[in-house]
Amino acid sequence: MAFRATVLTLYPEMFPGHLGFSLAGKAAERGQWSLDTVQIRDFATDKHRTVDDTPAGGGAGMVLKPDVLARAIDSTSENDTRPRLLMSPRGKPLTQERVRQLATGDGVIIVCGRFEGVDQRVIEARELEEVSIGDYVLSGGEPAALIVLDAIVRILPGVMGNDLSGLHESFEGGLLEHPHYTRPQEWEGHEIPAILTSGNHGAIEKWRHEQAVVLTKERRPDLIAAQKAGKAG
What burial class does residue 79 get, using C-beta atoms within 10 Å of its C-beta: 0-12 exposed, 13-18 middle, 19+ buried? exposed
DSSP secondary structure, 165-200, as one string: GGTT-TTGGGSPPPP---S-SEETTEEPPGGGGS--
The site string for ligand SAH over 36-75 (x = CB under 6 A, - otherwise) reads: ----------------------------------------
Q: How far apart are CA 159 and CA 67, in angstroms?
A: 38
CA 205 distance to own-chain centroid: 29
Note whether 93 binds ligand SAH by CB under 6 A. no
Distance of closest approach, residue 20 Cβ to ligand SAH, in angstroms: 21
Note whether 204 binds ligand SAH by CB under 6 A. no
Binding window for ligand SAH (CB under 6 A); candidates: 50-58, 68-76, 137-145, 219-227: 137-145
Of 57 and 158, the one with the shorter C-beta distance to ligand SAH is 57
Q: How far apart are CA 180 and CA 178, in angstroms?
A: 7
Distance of closest approach, residue 49 Cβ to ligand SAH, in angstroms: 19
Distance of closest approach, residue 157 Cβ to ligand SAH, in angstroms: 27
Which residues touch 88 (CB under 8 Å, ≥6 apart)? Answer: 113, 117, 130, 131, 132, 141
Question: Which is nearest to 76 in space by CA: 2, 148, 5?
Answer: 5
Residue from the set 32, 75, 76, 132 that interacts with ligand SAH by CB under 6 A = 132
Note whether 9 binds ligand SAH by CB under 6 A. no
Residue from the set 26, 49, 90, 217 that interacts with ligand SAH by CB under 6 A = 90
Note whether 117 binds ligand SAH by CB under 6 A. yes
Helix (H) or strand (E) holding 110: strand 107-111
Question: Which is nearest to 65 in space by CA: 54, 75, 73?
Answer: 54
Of 44 and 144, the one with the shorter C-beta distance to ligand SAH is 144
Binding window for ligand SAH (CB under 6 A); candidates: 5-13, 21-29, 42-50, 108-116: 108-116
Distance of closest approach, residue 3 Cβ to ligand SAH, in angstroms: 21
- Angle at which helices 22-29 and 142-153 cross, to 10°: 70
Q: Is the peptide bond before 16 cis (omega within 30 degrees of 0)?
A: yes
Of 99 and 175, the one with the shorter C-beta distance to ligand SAH is 99
Note whether 7 binds ligand SAH by CB under 6 A. no
Q: How far apart are CA 108 and CA 230, in angstroms?
A: 27
Note whether 134 binds ligand SAH by CB under 6 A. yes
Sites of contact with ligand SAH (CB under 6 A) = 87-90, 112-114, 116-117, 132-134, 136-138, 140-141, 144
